[in-house]
Chain A
Amino acid sequence: MSPTKKNNKNLDELITGAIGRDKPEFDFNKWQQNHKREIEIFESQTLVGQTPQHIRPFNIWGIIIKSPITKIAAAAAIIIAAVLILRNGSVDITTPVFGVQDVLVAMKKAQWMHIKYEIIELHSESFSPEEIIRLPETWISVNPHRMVQIFGNGNISFREDELCKETRYDPESNIITITYKSRASDVQPSSIENLLFNQISEIEKEGGIVTYTNDLFQGKPVTVINVDTTNVSESGLSLSLFVDPKTRLPIKFTLGKVDGQSIMASGIIDYPQDGPIDIYKLGASQDAEVVVIDKRDQPELIEVLKPYNKARENLISDYILVTAHKSGSLVTGIEIAYNQGRKQRSERSSVRVPIISSDDDMIAYEKVLGDSVESLLTWARDNKGMTLDIYIYDGQFYYRSNKDSFGKWTIHEELHRPERNPIPLEDLCDLGWPGIPPKNCVKQIENDYSEENNLIAFEVTSGSDIRNGRIYFTAQKTINYLDPSRDYMCVRREMFHHPLSGGLGDTKIKGVDFDPNEIPDEPSFIRFVSEFGRTENGQWYPKKIETHSKRWDADGKENPLSLSSINTLYLKTNPEFPEGIFDPNNLPKEGD
């Protein structure tokens, strides 16, 4: 064997041994379970041509039928309410025994609604049998608004929306987690009707067909309200609601295919005078550890943040901001942010770093980029970057084009739902006046650093982000320091992360809201403004931002904070923007 061949073989084996792994298997069924919305959009495109979903009428049935199974209890209430709403227009009532309004009145008089699910037969790929089995027994009360659920695995959820409080019990860990939220959850029992009333015209346009028949249930005569969703939902599902003619209350419902032969699920409904009082009455262990997570905002902090938010609103809106990202002594990336009102464009280039073996090399390298907005813009326009990502936000949607490392424009895409994967457009606001997520817990604090530097400090904590049983982001605490003497700029951020034995991807932690109080006292990351700039109009801005972070060795040993990057910002206010720069139609297309 020649030395070259041997060399190749050895190196091949070394690389494969280091980074190789078994071929991953793709589970399409599971993928479909996790991407129902995308499939719905795809299918709607098929049916209505190229019309994107976001401008189509809201398909409430699609939402009901394709809701995650854990929301099925709420969906059941929606189904019932939907029947009450489908009462005129295209609705065909063949045997009106009594008015739908009577049913609505009767339901509103009931204090509690209790739903117990029975599964008769499964004819849907939407839900796996394991999920169906876990349908929770549910109690809903109207006033006060509560939703209580017992899941098949023994977990209990007790939600009191007026108190913005949710109590959850996990029998496996024997932990009760009480979470106070800064605002009530998006879907409340009380808001279901309102939600649907807002959609009524769309539902009527789509034309569900309602018919009435008489039947027996448990030996007693009932009126069955049948809803045929063939015209409303692609899934062709039917709902039958069994109403007691005496009380006018629905006592059972079934959900199945329109032919009436295959029933997917059914639920028995009753209306007890009293419902569950607390989680212990439902079986939570008295000796369970109780963890309280308080995410409510402090009223006094809201006052403190007023000038900060005002400074954010008054921030200059027309500018070009060039950021040179430096890692070590070399600039490795250039980002240009064009900002005009709500419109944004970002161009991110990676820099081809040459071999630096002498001071002369370094001087030549620095000269290529220069040290001003103009020189860096010139560099960028001459397209000397290795790769280039362009993002545009036109005030409504995001668009992007990429030039890959081979110099080809490989993609041009529109992104209508950036909330799922936020677009990394970093503008002046993000860098100096970052937004405060409303769902997180925010409270004002004082510490040595804030006192010594006359800064306002506030702490933001958030739970971990767990999707599909895997941790994406750990629970974290951030301390932000605002400088009142510099337009309330956030001049320093310290981040503290929940320690995880298994790191990200750990599937052992079950709860989404595990205790953020467990995060350590030492920050794992600090970012601060080390140099300030000021525009002609007196607006302060960060001129140089340093980042220090902790690193871990291969054996898991934690090293102290060390400098990881420096960003230098070059700001040009009230610029003349190149023609059409914010127009997504001008973005390079694939193959350009």
Chain B
Amino acid sequence: MSDKAERKPVLSKACTEQGRSVERLIEAAVGGDLESFGELCREYYASMVAVGYSVLGEHQLAEDAAQESFARALVGLRNLKNKKRFAPWMAAICKNVAKDMLAEKARRINSSDFTQVGKAEDPDGDDRLIHQVVEQLPESAKELVVLRYYDGLSYEQIGSVLGISKASINGRLTRAKRKMAKYLRRNGFPENRL
């Protein structure tokens, strides 16, 4: 088993450790404090990379999407009406950026399956099958699965980014995994490994 599988979801507590809640950071950032915005970026970077990855399917580009979304968010920060929805707002921007990158790439590469990216990152064996099954999932389920397993985000973090409850995450994730298991069985994946 790879090291990645050993990792446990970790809830980042950078903000609370510094005695500054995310909400206070948002207030400060909206007030013009760039450092607070930087703190927010650090706090949500992993989540945004995961969001980007759910659209782009490529690590490096997902990081670029996250960084570009921070740039857009910074410029539009004062348009954010509901400060409590900062993370979902940022995630939506990140999705937009990723989709733009996808569209731009499709325009330039004009290949819906990211052939050239695939060359660099195509996985082997089981991983490849898992990738396929994740791709088969509906968009919302795919997003959840990636957020959960890409960087090992906790339910709290996922809930904060998607703006949904833990119970809802649990239910959707369970259904998504059931679908995945079914697909894997259908494709001859050994039952004893499921």
Which residues of A pack against B, CB within 8 Å? 7-8, 10-26, 28, 31-32, 34-35, 38-39, 41-43, 45-46, 50, 327, 350, 352, 386-387, 389, 400, 402, 404-406, 408, 410-415, 421-424, 465, 470, 473-474, 476, 495, 497, 500, 502-506, 524-525, 527, 547, 549-556, 564-565, 589-591
Contact = CB atoms under 8 A, between A and B. Distances in A.
A42 B41 contact: no
Contacts of B26: none
Nearest to A18: B130
B150 A20 contact: yes
A400 B163 CA distance: 20
Nearest to A38: B71
Nearest to B193: A10
Interface of B: 1-2, 4-5, 7, 10, 31-32, 34, 37-38, 41-42, 45-46, 49, 53, 58-61, 63-64, 66-68, 70-72, 74-79, 81-82, 85, 88-89, 91-93, 95-97, 99-101, 103-105, 107-113, 115-124, 126-128, 130-131, 134, 138-140, 143, 145-146, 149-152, 162-164, 177, 180-181, 193-194
Contact of A552 (B60, B93, B119, B151): B119
Q: Which 4 pairs of residues, A with B, have the shortest CB-CB distance? A: A503-B120, A46-B32, A18-B130, A405-B140
B134 A414 contact: no
A234 to B, nearest CB: 12
A530 to B, nearest CB: 16
B180 to A, nearest CB: 7
Contact of A22 (B4, B109, B130, B162): B4
Given A405-B140, A406-B164, A504-B61, A20 B7 contact: yes
Nearest to A50: B78
A126 B56 CA distance: 31
Given A424-B103, A549-B115, A590-B82, A26 B41 contact: yes
A19 B149 CA distance: 7
Nearest to B100: A421
Looking at B4, B67, B75, the one whose CB has the most chain A CB atoms below 10 A away is B75
Contacts of A465: 108
Given A15-B145, A402-B95, A424-B100, A350 B139 contact: yes
9 contacts: A16-B152, A42-B74, A405-B139, A406-B164, A411-B93, A412-B79, A424-B103, A549-B112, A564-B111
Looking at A15, A45, A405, A565, the one whose CB has the most chain B CB atoms below 10 A away is A15
B67 A34 contact: yes
A10 B139 CA distance: 23
Given A13-B1, A23-B10, A551 B100 contact: no
Given A413-B76, A505-B120, A556-B119, A19 B131 contact: yes
A411 B111 CA distance: 28
B156 to A, nearest CB: 15
Contact of B99 (A8, A389, A410, A555): A389
B79 A413 contact: yes
Nearest to B107: A424
B108 A504 contact: no
B38 A28 contact: yes
B164 to A, nearest CB: 7
Looking at A24, A404, A414, the one whose CB has the most chain B CB atoms below 10 A away is A24
Contacts, number: 247
A45 B78 contact: yes
Given A20-B5, A413-B93, A424-B104, A505 B110 contact: no
B164 A11 contact: no
A564 B124 contact: no
Given A13-B5, A17-B4, A421-B97, A24 B63 contact: yes
A406 B92 CA distance: 12
A422 B104 contact: yes
A7 B4 contact: no
Contact of B112 (A7, A327, A387, A504): A327
B96 A524 contact: no
Contact of A31 (B70, B118, B180): B70
Contact of A20 (B4, B38, B70): B4
Contacts of B100: 421-424
A465 B101 CA distance: 13
B152 A504 contact: no
A422 B106 CA distance: 12
Contacts of B145: 15, 19
Contacts of B53: 19
Contact of B120 (A35, A46, A414, A502): A502
A503 B116 contact: yes
Contacts of A550: 111, 115
B160 to A, nearest CB: 14
Given A20-B151, A21-B151, A23-B151, A553 B104 contact: no
